[in-house]
Structure 1
Amino acid sequence: MKLFSYIVPVLGTKLASSVYADKAYYKGQELVGSAVGHYAGYDGEKNFEWTSATIAAEGDDFIDISFSSTVGDLHWVVFDGLAGSYQYLVNRGLPDLSIVRTLWRLDPELFLNGRTYLRDQPLPDFALYANATKVQDETWELADGTFITKYDFSDYVRDRDFYGIYGPKVGSWYIHPGKDYYNSNQLSQTLTVHRESATGDSVQLNVVQDTSHFRLGNATPQPKGKIWGPWLWYLNDGSVEDVERQRQLELQNWPYSWLNDTAYQSRGELVGLLKLSDGRPASGAAVYLGDVNATTRPLVQGSNYYYTTYANENGEFSFADVRTGDYALYAWSYGGVLADVYSNFSRSAVSISEGKKLDLGSLTWAIPEGRRPIFQIGDFDKKALGFTNGGPPYRHGVADQSPANLTYTIGVSNASDWYYAQSLIGTWTIEFELSALDISSHANSTAILSISLAGYSQSAALDLDINGQHLATWSKDTLASDPALYRSGKISGEWRFFQYEVNSGVLHEGTNTVGFTVTRYTQWRGFMWDSVILEWA
């Protein structure tokens, strides 16, 4: 066996330091250099301190080495002939937490570029930081007014293929073929790679738990024995195409048969069909298996294992290789043909049994019926897509590019005339026409104004009115803050939903208006938009 020709160079000789592995080799090339190396930790800089290393398991072509600490064990599983290592982390005594991660900090002379499914480009030149002004955490303003920040390489964890750092000689990659140990749902996002501003190290993060960045922070309890992983840390010559080939192999082999853990191997299957109460199939709906305890928002659920998928055009959905146990089923609109659906679906106590397929049959998703739309701006998908500057790539400071004042005319303006975020002091006005027939046929009706925000970052404040009649004030006194907007987020943060009844007589024949007036401005903060709809009840 050639196992130890891999394991010794990869792990180095610095276990005595209790925290870092400071040596790694690929084809004779040392990869860490003056950088920090490999370590693991949780919630900030609470790094694992390793007390021992033991062989946990071995086979004809692999060896599983467990590095132990008082709070958890990090396993490196090295296969003969595979450059890199499978890794998984086992909880032994972690407290309630928000973040768990491992990471490599590698030689910046070798690892020049960062790659995610959203970006593939050089990491910022370390020399840029010398004359830049730090404006917030790991965010720097250059002399030309542009910014560099570690948040620009963030991505959505459920959409990942692979990511890493690489150069012309070598690449270091993370491949996660199974994502059930990631917390939260399709809207979960976190950090990936960046330049370390203090040292210049090329940083490759492996954040496997995050209920903090880009959402309202939430610490969750972690059951003893919980496993994050396994994932593959993979080394190659820097070829992106080669990593994709390796990823396809990992997808075929997941869940991994070599992991001798009963709970990990015990899995079942779930299928079902979602239909709206008006008879439409829930085409393209986001479907999520999460916690039975619905008091915890799906975006910050993080104690157990989680699964995501999307319904097909007929509303059918399926989950394969689900760990046995009890789950709740959640669904919501991801736009498209469900663009007008703002209610969510949930069902508790979905029990997965080993080796069994659970068929939930046809499920009815209740939505308000009998309402007649007056206008809608944007799709309900909990994202700021379709609006100017909304969507990838991540980029800092873009909220300030939105206008202070804006008039959107129904029937004339397009969704792209609205902006993804409102920040500057001023008023955005929606103008819409109602005929005498509209008013007379709904003389005894109320209207329902439904507003979905993709995110909110304090301390901005906004007054909402319809035809000058005040409906609400949104501010830090009424909304908790999420950091997405000021951390380069242009897609989503924490979703918020509001509904207001508009009494009979407020609307009138001719031109009517809905106004959103920002009364308090804080740089890079504000309101990230999803959709606005006004309907006759």
Structure 2
Amino acid sequence: MRFLQLLGFAAVALSAPLLEGRAKSKSFLKQINETTWVLGNSLWNVTQNRQYANKLFYKGQDRVGKAVGHYVSYNGAASDLNWTSAAIVDSGSDYINVKFTAKEGDFHWVIYDDLAGAYQYFVNHALPVLGEFRTLWRLDNSSFTKGRTYLKDGPLPPLSDYLAATKVQDETWQKADGTYLTKYDWSAVLRSTDYYGVYGDKVGSWYFNPGKDYYNGDQTKGELMVHRESLTGDTVQLNMIHGTHFQAIATDTFADGKTWGPWLWYLNDGSKTDAAARAEEEEAKWPYKWYEALDKAYRTRGRMQGQLALSDGRAAAGANVFLGDSNSTLSTLDQGANYYYTTTADKDGKFVIKDIRQGTYGLYAWSNGGKIGDVSTTFIKNDVVIREGDNTNLKKLSWPVTDLKKRIFQVGDFDRKSVGFLGSGGYFHGRIATCPANITYTIGKSKPSDWCFGQSSFGKYSITFSLASIPTTATGAKLTVSMAGFSTGSAADVLLNDVKVGRITNSATILSSQDTYRGATVSGEWHLLEMPIAKAQLKVGVNKVDFNVTASTLWRGWFWDSVVLDWQ
């Protein structure tokens, strides 16, 4: 008790709101003992221990309760960071910057006197090679009863539902009525996220991640956002700053000084309207001016612009543009060691990306459907140099594409997603198992919604098409199969007119990812397969391509992006 009294607090300080109710108190950090600190302001305060921040006082109540609280960890729950010290490393008239140090790096809380919440960021010093790195809150389930992402909003399932259900796979349970409970249904596409969090009738906890340049992966990357902890009932608010929930292999090595953030963790009365307004405000303020003074690399930013034109003369209207690693052997989804920027080209193929950290990048572009949904190729330009204060003008870039005069048929737009097919959209466990076992798609008659987004069950998906003639100049044909995701366990033979021309199965070129069985329905790990076709295999009249499932595992299979046959 004497140690607390020396700090100016009563002995009840750890079980009641610290400083709450005082007139305009300054933000603060107080050390209680060698392994415990209290930080916050007059609106809220957190008790941080060596591993967990196990108390959060806000609006007269501890909002952690019996839950675990706040922590930072990597590779799932395998390694939680342990804080060895804490100090105020920067301050101003209305804020303090509190640094917690662990052997892997430093976690910062930037606390403003009048802000319900804090800006946070992490600076790497010795993180190992990893796939997952996250910060998160596990909060009181009576205060925070609902979750919100841009895809899903509503009550989180109570713990009692899990206890009464049967576990069928990784964090997935089947209820007595046949429906499923899984945390993965609370996932969303990371770079499309505006704001997300958990809330109740009186309180809300939100994350705003403007900029997003510290995230790994591209525009198709999905991540788990919020959920109910199945063992304890804790309400979970995740901040997957380097995530792999729907990927195959995504491990990275990080340079000393690599920084994630800053982002804003924000508390309010549970109002989504207020949270949405705050999200817009934070997006407008990024890159944060207050942080530029602390990190020289953060403020060394430039601008890039250019225009993509297809080699057939069309503008690359609506193309996805990704600025990532130069001369990389990794897909854009699997890049993650550095900083990454995304945008969409306009109707003329023009694009602009602002506030890019200084460095050398690779520029990638691919079809996002629509007017260029017939483009199967990826544009790549390496060694793009961004300098502080400069505008890197790439001018007009030529994107080589396939001669569409040679196209025989196409099912679905190229966009690395299953958009347009039956059942595509959001995250829903088991939906791939609802796809028909057999489908026949007739070119010229069927529409994309007649073809299911995925295939997994024993059966056959067939595409029938007619040829009026065989071009004398053709030497053969090429079947292109673009898949938006693949989880091993199911496989199919690919046949043209009953002759095997290829196979969909796990291999060195088709790595299994955690997408179909975790309830993704739009995108996971993208794969492009090209299968040569002998000219003699095609005939005048009706022809048929079959995808005949030869091995089937429940919930494991592939998502379709596009299927194309071209003359060669």
Question: Shorter-chain TM-score: what band?
Answer: over 0.9
- Matching of residue 497 in structure 1 with residue 532 in structure 2: no
Q: 2:175 aligns with which of 139, 142, 146?
A: 142
Paired with 1:364 and 1:107, the residues of 2 have a C-alpha distance of 55
Distance 1:498 1:429, change over 3 A: same
Paired with 1:14 and 1:295, the residues of 2 have a C-alpha distance of 41
Secondary structure at the counterpart of residue 437 of structure 2: coil
Partner of 2:158 in structure 1?
125
For 1:376-525, list aligned pairs within 5 A: 376-392=410-426, 394-435=427-468, 438-439=469-470, 441-442=471-472, 444-477=474-507, 479-525=510-556
For 1:114-513, list aligned pairs within 5 A: 114-210=147-243, 212-259=244-291, 260-369=294-403, 371-392=405-426, 394-435=427-468, 438-439=469-470, 441-442=471-472, 444-477=474-507, 479-513=510-544
CA-to-aligned-CA distance 1:407-441 (integer Å, 9 cap, x gap) = 11111111101001111111111111122xx23x4
Contact 1:272/1:361, CA 8 A, preserved across alignment: yes
Secondary structure at the counterpart of residue 158 of structure 1: helix
For 1:53-64, list aligned pairs within 5 A: 53-64=86-97
Contact 1:443/1:504, CA 8 A, preserved across alignment: no
> What is the one-letter code of the residue matched to 2:520?
G
Paired with 1:171 and 1:444, the residues of 2 have a C-alpha distance of 63
Q: For this pair of structures, how many residues does the alignment match? A: 530
* 1:447 Cα deviation from its structure 2 partner: 2.0
> What is the one-letter code of the residue matched to 2:353?
F
Partner of 2:25 in structure 1?
2
* 1:444 Cα deviation from its structure 2 partner: 4.4
Contact 1:93/1:224, CA 8 A, preserved across alignment: yes
User: Which range moved further: 243-252 or 60-69?
Assistant: 243-252
* 1:11 Cα deviation from its structure 2 partner: 5.0
* 1:10 Cα deviation from its structure 2 partner: 4.7
- Matching of residue 78 in structure 1 with residue 101 in structure 2: no
> What is the one-letter code of the residue matched to 1:297?
S
Paired with 2:72 and 2:369, the residues of 1 have a C-alpha distance of 38
Contact 2:27/2:112, CA 8 A, preserved across alignment: no
Paired with 2:333 and 2:164, the residues of 1 have a C-alpha distance of 38
> What is the one-letter code of the residue matched to 1:217?
I
CA-to-aligned-CA distance 1:209-262 (integer Å, 9 cap, x gap) = 12x221112211011011100000000000001011111221221111111110
> What is the one-letter code of the residue matched to 2:462?
T
Secondary structure at the counterpart of residue 290 of structure 2: coil
Secondary structure at the counterpart of residue 395 of structure 2: strand
CA-to-aligned-CA distance 1:439-464 (integer Å, 9 cap, x gap) = 3x447442221110111111111100
* 1:14 Cα deviation from its structure 2 partner: 4.2
Contact 2:467/2:543, CA 8 A, preserved across alignment: yes
Paired with 1:338 and 1:369, the residues of 2 have a C-alpha distance of 13
Paired with 2:462 and 2:295, the residues of 1 have a C-alpha distance of 58
Paired with 1:493 and 1:371, the residues of 2 have a C-alpha distance of 31
> What is the one-letter code of the residue matched to 2:245?
H
CA-to-aligned-CA distance 1:80-111 (integer Å, 9 cap, x gap) = 21100000001011011111100001110010
Secondary structure at the counterpart of residue 536 of structure 2: coil
Contact 2:302/2:354, CA 8 A, preserved across alignment: yes
* 1:536 Cα deviation from its structure 2 partner: 2.1
> What is the one-letter code of the residue matched to 1:2?
S
Calculate the TM-score normalised by the size of structure 1.
0.96
CA-to-aligned-CA distance 1:116-136 (integer Å, 9 cap, x gap) = 011111101221011101111
Paired with 2:400 and 2:473, the residues of 1 have a C-alpha distance of 27
Secondary structure at the counterpart of residue 27 of structure 2: helix
Paired with 1:55 and 1:10, the residues of 2 have a C-alpha distance of 18
Secondary structure at the counterpart of residue 361 of structure 1: strand
Paired with 1:412 and 1:112, the residues of 2 have a C-alpha distance of 48
Distance 1:370 1:308, change over 3 A: closer
User: What is the RMSD computed on CA atoms of the aligned residues?
Assistant: 1.4
* 1:144 Cα deviation from its structure 2 partner: 1.1
Contact 1:189/1:213, CA 8 A, preserved across alignment: yes
* 1:501 Cα deviation from its structure 2 partner: 2.3
Distance 1:217 1:145, change over 3 A: same
Paired with 1:55 and 1:293, the residues of 2 have a C-alpha distance of 41
Paired with 1:367 and 1:529, the residues of 2 have a C-alpha distance of 21
Partner of 1:50 in structure 2?
83
Q: 1:33 aligns with which of 65, 80, 85?
A: 65
Contact 1:177/1:250, CA 8 A, preserved across alignment: yes
Contact 2:27/2:95, CA 8 A, preserved across alignment: no
> What is the one-letter code of the residue matched to 1:474?
I
Paired with 1:266 and 1:486, the residues of 2 have a C-alpha distance of 42
Secondary structure at the counterpart of residue 22 of structure 1: strand
Paired with 1:93 and 1:257, the residues of 2 have a C-alpha distance of 27
Structure 2 unmatched ranges of 5 or more: 1-23, 29-38
* 1:311 Cα deviation from its structure 2 partner: 0.2
* 1:27 Cα deviation from its structure 2 partner: 2.2
* 1:300 Cα deviation from its structure 2 partner: 1.1
CA-to-aligned-CA distance 1:268-306 (integer Å, 9 cap, x gap) = 100101100111110000000101132122111111110
Secondary structure at the counterpart of residue 333 of structure 2: helix
Percent of pairs with identical residues? 48
Paired with 2:338 and 2:467, the residues of 1 have a C-alpha distance of 51
* 1:474 Cα deviation from its structure 2 partner: 2.1
Contact 1:50/1:69, CA 8 A, preserved across alignment: yes
Contact 2:323/2:340, CA 8 A, preserved across alignment: yes
* 1:266 Cα deviation from its structure 2 partner: 1.0
Partner of 1:102 in structure 2?
135
Distance 1:320 1:14, change over 3 A: closer
